[in-house]
Amino acid sequence: MKGIKTLALGAGLGSLLLSAAWAEGLDGKVIGFSQIGSESGWRAAETSVTKAEAEARGIDLKFADAQQKQENQIKAIRGFVAQGVDAILVAPVVATGWEEVLTEAKEANIPVVLLDRGIEAPEDLYLTSVASDQVVEGRVAGEWLVAAVGDKPCNVVELQGTVGSSPAINRKQGFEEALAGKDNLAIIRSQTGDFTRSKGKEVMEGFLKAEGGGANICAVYAHNDDMAVGAIQAIKDAGLKPGADILVVSIDAVPDIFSAMATGEANATVELTPNMAGPAFDALQAYWDAGTVPPKFIITESKLYTPTDDPQGEYERRKDLGY
């Protein structure tokens, strides 16, 4: 116990000294982060990237895992307010029910930044929100395919996410927007693969059988990389070459799609960056240093990756992020 106290004292002194050295910036700031949980590999990567970003900036990050429960997030935010942190990051698990606890944070003058998802609450309760634009993700994937096939006719099959989920609706919409007016491209089949590898594989098997063993299919568009990985295996099982006989384009940019890309089995992926915290920290720094009030919605970049972007290197960079 005494050792821990000494340690804490040492750390406190150390951070005091450090913050004296760099008065500007985020060094020594205490920021609480209420994460949803570890529901998916992407979420785990978001957590590890957030910790890394905080460490690089010298931030003392207080991390709270809510295990997919809103009440745990509310408890965590109340705890951060009681500890008197400098700012709070929240990846909200649901959209509603945040007014009360965010009002408490506002009254304590603690800025709150939402990560990855939006909420239904008055906009003055939070400083800003950092998220990707899922429609843009779908559009970037679609535009890549339009450019890749040129004037050739191309039948596309689509592996949708979970029926009714917002990424499935938005990524479908964005892709269709990109294909609108291109008469040589048609989405001939579209089914849900529930964002999982095994359902992606099963649905693709069905598509291949129904479309002349795959002869009528020129490309597959999957709403996430995991379904694309499953589809790639189904294409191989049908005796075709994924990436050549059937083009594969998907969204998320998880490590395994880069290893498929490195062997030429996947053609393109659009990144859903796990680095939501970086822009959030930048916004907080600008807010504290210069009083700049950030826009309410900060949209992260939806970057396209193709086999020319060093897929093996990207795989190595990402594989230890916890995906």
Partner 1 sequence: MTRPTIDLRPTTQPPYPRARPIHAFFTRPQVIALIAVLLVNWMLFPGFFTITWQDGRLFGSLIDVLNRGAPVAILAIGMTAVIATKGVDLSVGAVMAISGAVAATLVSSGVSAPVAVAAALGAGLLCGLWNGILVTVLDIQPIIATLVLMVAGRGLAQLVTEGSIVTFSDPVLVFIGTGSILGLPTPVVIALLLMIAATLAVRRTALGLLIEAVGVNRSAARFAGLSAGALLLIVYTFAGFCAAVAGLIVAGDIRGADANNAGLWLELDAILAVVIGGTSLLGGRFSIPMAVLGAIIIQAMNTGILISGFSPEFNLVVKSAVIIVILVLQSPLSARMFRGRSGGNSGKAK
Residues within the interface to partner 1 (CB under 8 A): 38-41, 44, 160, 163, 189-192, 194, 196-198, 201-203, 205-207, 209-210, 226, 229-230, 233, 237-239, 256, 322-323
Nearer to partner 1, 39 or 55 (CB): 39
Nearer to partner 1, 202 or 309 (CB): 202
Residue 274 CB, shortest distance to partner 1, in Å, is 13
The set of residues, in sequence order, having a beta carbon less than 8 Å from that of 263 and lying 6+ positions away, is none
Whose tokens are 């269709």? That residue is 176
Residue 18 CB, shortest distance to partner 1, in Å, is 32
DSSP-assigned beta bridge partners for residue 264 = none
Nearer to partner 1, 44 or 149 (CB): 44
User: What is the identity of the amino acid at 32?
Assistant: G
**What's the number of CA atoms in the CB half-sphere (13 Å) around residue 56?**
10
For 7, the token pair is 């340690």
Residue 65 CB, shortest distance to partner 1, in Å, is 11
92 sits in which H/E element: none
Nearest residue to 173 (alpha-carbon basis) of 135, 143, 221, 140: 135
Residue 205 CB, shortest distance to partner 1, in Å, is 5
Cα–Cα separations (whole angstroms), residue 76 to 24, 67, 187: 28, 12, 45
Residue 35 CB, shortest distance to partner 1, in Å, is 12
Tell me the three state secondary structure of residue 309: coil
Residue 266 CB, shortest distance to partner 1, in Å, is 14
DSSP-assigned beta bridge partners for residue 248 = 220
Nearer to partner 1, 212 or 295 (CB): 212
119 sits in which H/E element: none
Nearer to partner 1, 57 or 172 (CB): 172
- Nearest-angstrom CA–CA distance, 18 and 118: 35
Nearer to partner 1, 12 or 264 (CB): 264
